[in-house]
Amino acid sequence: MIKKELTPVHLSNVTIDGPFWAQRIKINRERTIPRLYKIFEEKGQINSLKPGWEPSTVLEPHHFWYGSVYQWIEAASYSITTHPDAQFESLIDGLVKLIVKRQQPDGYMPSYYKDVQVEKRLRMHLQSIRGGLSGGLFEAAVAYFQATSKRTLLDISCRHADYSDTVFGGEPGKKRGYPEHEGTEMSLIKLHQATGEKRYANLAKFFIDERGQLPHYFDREAIEQGEDPTHFWAGTYEYNQSHKPVREQNEVVGHAVRAMYLYSGMADVAAEFGDEELRAACDRLWNDLTSTKMYITGGIGPTRYNEGFTKDYDLPNETAYAETCAAIGLVFWAHRMLQFECDGRYADVMERALYNGVISGVSLDGEKFFYQNPLTSLGGVQRKQWFECPCCPPNIARLIASLGNYVYSQSKTDAIVHLYVGGTASLRVAGQTVGLRIDTRYPWDGKVVVTVKPETPASFGLKLRIPAWCGEFSLKVNGKETESIKPQCGYIRIEREWRADDCVELTLSMPIELVRAHPNVREDLGCVAIQRGPLVYCLEQVDNNVPPYLVVPPEEVKLANRVPLNRIVLPQDAKLEARFEPDLLDGVVMICGDAVHDLDSDDQLYRLAKEQRKCFKITAIPYFAWNNRKSGEMRVWIRSDA
C-alpha cells in the first residue's frame, strides 16, 4: 500500500514576512477580500441567500453565486488563521446565519434561491455537488472551523454530505451519479480529515470510481428525464472527463478547471486509500499535461470553446484561455502529487504556475482580475472588477490567503522547504517541534538563508529544493562552504545533528535565460521567452514605445515612435541585464537589453526578404505584473534569430 511520503505544514504553523509574498497577502487581506464582499452586496449574492428573496430579473440558477460566497468564506477564514480579524469573522458569522436557514430538514441545500420541484431536485443536487457548491461549502466549513473552532458551518456541511451519502453510492436503491463539475471529491476528503467520518472519504472514492463507467450515468439520467442522451449540453463527455473510467485515462481532456479538480480528487483518494493504480493514472495524466499541454506560465486550457484542452502542443498565445482558476487548480494538484513523493518535477510546476499564471490573475492593487491569461495581447485585454461567472476572483483570494500551506512539508525524518518564501514555520520532525526561519528576497535574487531551531539538538534531514531552472548553487552551513551535494529528484538533503540557530545559506544562481518551446509548438517557432529564476518575463508596450532610457510620458509618445512588439527581434546573444527597480510595479527586477526591430515597409505589403532592421533597447517585466499601468500590447514569446 502506498503512503504519502510527506505531510504539508499547515498554514496555522507558518508565518510569511518576506517582501514578495507578505505584500501580496497584505493586499489580498486589505483590498481583495473586503472588495469582493462589497461586490457581493452590490450584485445581490448576499441578498439572494435571504429567505423570500426574488430576483428583479430572470437569472440563471445561482450556482456560481453561492459558490463564490463559499470561496469568499474560505479565503477570509484562511486570512483570519494568520491575521485574526474581528470584522471578517463577524461577516462570516452573518453569512453562516443565512446559510443555515437555507438547509432543508433532510440536509439538502438548495442550489437555487428557492427550492425547486421534487423531480428537479435530484438533478439540481447533482449539479450542486460541483466544485462551486457542495465542494465550496465543505472547504469553507473546514477552513472556518480550523480558524475559529466554530462548528455551525461544519455541521451544515456534514448534514449536507450525509444527505448526499443517502442519495448516491453503489448500494441498492442509491443513484450511481457523480458530480458534473468535479471538486466535491477533494473537498469530501477534507471534510473526512476534519471530522474523522470515513463515509465522506468513501463517497469521494465512489464518485471517482463511478465516473465514466457504462452504462453512462448522464445517459441514464437524460433518458429518465425524457431527454435525448446524445444531446448532452457540452457536446462530449470528454468535457467533464467522464468519457471513460478515470483509471483508464491517459490523456488530459476537456474543461481545464474540471480536470484539475478531478485529478486533485484522484490524488486525494489515492493517498487516502493507498491506491497505487489511481496514483499511476495521476502520474500518466501529469506527464501528458506537463510535456505537451502547459504554457510556460503554468497556464493551462488553451481554448475558450471548452474552456479547456485541445491537441498536444496546441498552445496559441493571443487566444490563450488559460483561466486563472485552471492555474490555481494545477497548484492544488501539484501540491498533492508532491506529498506522495518529494520530487522537484511537481514543485517546479507548482512554482511556475504560482509565480506566473496564477498571480497574473489579480492586479497589483488587488482589485481587478483576469479570467483569461493570454501570452500575447494586441492591446484590448484588461483586468476587470467582476465577471458574470465570478469564479476566479475569490479563488485567487483563497489561494493567496492560504499560501502558507504550500511552502513546507514534514516527514518523520525530514524538514522540507519547497518554496523560498521569507518567514517562519513550526514543523514536526524527529519526534519534536522544529522551527525554521527563511530570509530571502526570492524571486528577485537566489540567496536563501534558513535558520534551524530544534527544541533540543537532534539529527534529521533538511531538504531544500533546487529548482530545475537553477544550473548552479552554493551551500554554506554555519558559514562553512560544504562539499558539493548532488540534488536528488530536485532536492538536496543535509543530514546532521541540528542545534538551535544553525544556519544554512543556499545561493541559487539566477541568470537571465532565453527559453525555447518544443518545436512542435507552432506558435512559438522562432521565438524565445525570457526567464529569470521562477519568473517568466514579457514585453509591455508602455516600456517599449521609445528607447526606454529616454523618459517621455507615455501620453506624449507619438504613434510614429511606436514599435509593435511583433517587430522586435531578440538576438540569441543579446546582452541582457537584470536590475531591481524599487519604484516600478511595487518593486520588480526588470530586464533590459539590446534588440533590433524591423523597419517599416513604406506601406508595401510584401518586399524582398533582405532584412532591414534598426537597433532597439528593450525592457521586459515579470509576466504577472503586466497590465498594471497603461493598456497596450504585451508579448511573452519574442522573435529571435536562430
Active site residues: 307, 391
In the complex with Zn ion, the residue whose CB is nearer, 61 or 587, is 61
Using CB positions, name the residue nearest to Zn ion: 325
Least gap, CB of 131 to Zn ion (angstroms): 10
Least gap, CB of 384 to Zn ion (angstroms): 12
In the complex with Zn ion, the residue whose CB is nearer, 392 or 570, is 392
Q: Rg of the chain over CA atoms, in angstroms?
A: 25
> Which listed range, 77-85, 214-222, 392-400, 600-608, lies at the site for Zn ion (CB under 5 A)?
392-400
> Which listed range, 14-22, 304-312, 325-333, 355-363, lies at the site for Zn ion (CB under 5 A)?
325-333
In the complex with Zn ion, the residue whose CB is nearer, 145 or 369, is 369
Is residue 474 within 8 A of residue 511, CB to CB? The reply is no
Evaluated on CA atoms 325, 88, 265, 390, the torsion sign reads: negative
* Residue 392 binds Zn ion (CB under 5 A): yes
Cα 236-276-491 angle, rounded to 5 deg:
105
What SS3 class is residue 622? strand
> Which listed range, 52-60, 387-395, 499-507, 525-533, lies at the site for Zn ion (CB under 5 A)?
387-395
Site for Zn ion in 69-108 (CB under 5 A): none
Q: Which of 99, 325, 375, 470 binds Zn ion (CB under 5 A)?
A: 325
DSSP tag of 96:
H
* Residue 399 binds Zn ion (CB under 5 A): no
Least gap, CB of 301 to Zn ion (angstroms): 10
Is residue 464 within 8 A of residue 52, CB to CB? The reply is no
In the complex with Zn ion, the residue whose CB is nearer, 12 or 303, is 303
In the complex with Zn ion, the residue whose CB is nearer, 260 or 574, is 260
In the complex with Zn ion, the residue whose CB is nearer, 110 or 265, is 265
* Residue 391 binds Zn ion (CB under 5 A): yes
Q: Say how far apart CA 456 and CA 86 lie, in whole Å.
A: 37
In the complex with Zn ion, the residue whose CB is nearer, 119 or 388, is 388
* Residue 353 binds Zn ion (CB under 5 A): no
What SS3 class is residue 618? strand
Least gap, CB of 74 to Zn ion (angstroms): 15
The cell numbers describing 640, all together, are 529571435
Is residue 98 within 8 A of residue 50, CB to CB? The reply is yes
Cα 175-178-180 angle, rounded to 5 deg:
130
Least gap, CB of 389 to Zn ion (angstroms): 7
Nearest to 49 by CA among 73, 28, 65: 65
In the complex with Zn ion, the residue whose CB is nearer, 128 or 440, is 128
- Residue partners of 105: CB distance under 8 A and separation at least 6: none
Q: What x/- string results for residues 544 through 583 when contact with Zn ion is judged by CB under 5 A?
A: ----------------------------------------
Cα 364-26-336 angle, rounded to 5 deg:
90
> Which listed range, 72-80, 193-201, 210-218, 391-399, lies at the site for Zn ion (CB under 5 A)?
391-399
Least gap, CB of 181 to Zn ion (angstroms): 12
* Residue 260 binds Zn ion (CB under 5 A): no
Q: Say how far apart CA 613 and CA 558 lie, in whole Å.
A: 20
Q: How far is CA 349 from CA 19, 224, 278, in A?
A: 22, 43, 21
> Which listed range, 176-184, 273-281, 322-330, 597-605, lies at the site for Zn ion (CB under 5 A)?
322-330
> Which listed range, 263-271, 316-324, 440-448, 634-642, lies at the site for Zn ion (CB under 5 A)?
316-324
Burial class (CB in 10 A: 0-12, 13-18, 19+), 393: buried
Least gap, CB of 577 to Zn ion (angstroms): 37
Least gap, CB of 369 to Zn ion (angstroms): 9
Site for Zn ion in 209-238 (CB under 5 A): none
Is residue 265 within 8 A of residue 182, CB to CB? The reply is yes
Beta-bridge partners for 465:
491
Q: What x/- string results for residues 5 through 44 when contact with Zn ion is judged by CB under 5 A?
A: ----------------------------------------
**Per-residue three-class SS string for 4-31:** CCCEECCHHHEEECCHHHHHHHHHHHHH
DSSP string for residues in 340-358? HS--HHHHHHHHHIIIIII
Please count the residues of the chain: 642
Report how many residues bind Zn ion under the rule CB under 5 A. Answer: 4
Q: List residues binding Zn ion (CB under 5 A).
A: 323, 325, 391-392
